[in-house]
Amino acid sequence: MLIHTVGAPTGTEESYLLILTRGFINFPVAVFFFLSGFFNKSTDHYFGEANGKFVSRVVRLLVPYIFWTTFYLCVGFILCKIAGKPFDLLRIPKSFLAGTAAGPLYFLHVLLQLTIITPILVKIIRSESKFVSGLKWGLLGITPLYILALYAYDFSAGKMLPHYNLPCFAWFTLYYLGLLCANGKISHNGFTGLPTAIMLAFTALFIAIWEGFVIYGQTGTEIFSLAISQIRFGSVLFSLAIINLILCLKSTNPPPNRFFSKLGDYSFGIYAFHMFWMTPLAFVCSRMIFFPEILPFVKIMQGGICVGITFLACKGAEKIIGTSLSKLIGIR
């Protein structure tokens, strides 16, 4: 959510500050993809079999994707009418095909792709064949290879590849790593001890920020989006370090936190619905007297307010339409 709180920078100093800020907050989506694989309970399904878990998982993603895409298209249509501007009808098929109705919806699009190929991945992971065993570990290289191809295109074309975050290859390694953990091929307790995990996280954070500065120094504003992107080597490395840290912390059995547990109940709705509040909040926060020129402060303030408003909106919607429908359309 913090990623969506502030728009493009207006100067060199703000650009460096944005790169620095994004270095700290680029990991959540990658971690969510890992957790989606890690908590995938439908690990026995294969194509060609009537498996309720697999169908249910696809429906739990497809229905919210259709609902929220339709919702944001309706909002866009209303705003165009209010502003007296024509509504581009091509936005409708583009939004459904590319998840562009609102920024966060690409996540559901990608997760749906990964869910559909999960039966094949599980079969590969569980295979005892020597050939398939090599493929099992080789698949971890898909995202690094995609990032290499992305760099080659971006630097040669001088612009970002359109919808570069939409193909499942961009996030595949993180999801697949979660599946490997879920199937017992990788330790659930992290790859290092906790002190080492903390040190690796700080090291990876430094690398992620340094890489962003290097990219910006080499290209300037030409491909600035790459300098702050979640899909670059530094960001993925930091995400992997955070995943390792989470697994290490999990092994210590920390006590549950009621506040975060309650937020987690509505995490789907908060993720999908928060963009609705982002524009009016950006307008209000930019005019408040609490030092709006300090970018990290603006992000934290706007993000915190947005979480609170969206949480209350989701909770209110659930009371009106009921828990079952809320779960179906992705509010809870």
pLDDT tens profile 51-68 = 557 778 888 899 999 999
Considering only 62-76, 116-130, 283-297, which range has the smallest mean pLDDT? 283-297
- Bigger pLDDT: 285 or 146? 146
pLDDT digits (tens, 9 = 90+) for 206-222: 999 999 999 998 887 77
- Which of 46-60, 82-96, 98-112, 230-244 is modeled with the greatest confidence? 230-244
Global confidence as pTM: 0.88
Average pLDDT of the residues in 24-36: 92
Q: Which long-range contacts (CB under 8 A, 24 or more apart) does 313-316 make?
A: 313/269, 313/273, 313/277, 314/266, 314/269, 314/270, 314/273, 315/266
| pLDDT reading at 43 higher than 50 | no
Question: How high is the pLDDT of residue 17?
Answer: 82
The pLDDT confidence band at residue 50, using thresholds 50, 70 and 90, is very low
d(CA 251, CA 194): 9
Average pLDDT of the residues in 275-301: 68
Q: Which residues contact 233 (CB under 8 A, 6 or more apart)?
A: 144, 147, 211
d(CA 332, CA 317): 10
Sign of the four-CA dihedral 11, 16, 22, 24: negative
d(CA 199, CA 191): 13
pLDDT digits (tens, 9 = 90+) for 165-202: 999 999 999 999 999 998 888 888 888 888 999 999 99
Extract the tokens encoding 45: 């399904």
- Which of 201-210, 270-279, 314-323 is modeled with the greatest confidence? 201-210
| pLDDT reading at 253 higher than 80 | no
Extract the tokens encoding 36: 């989606």
| pLDDT reading at 312 higher than 80 | yes
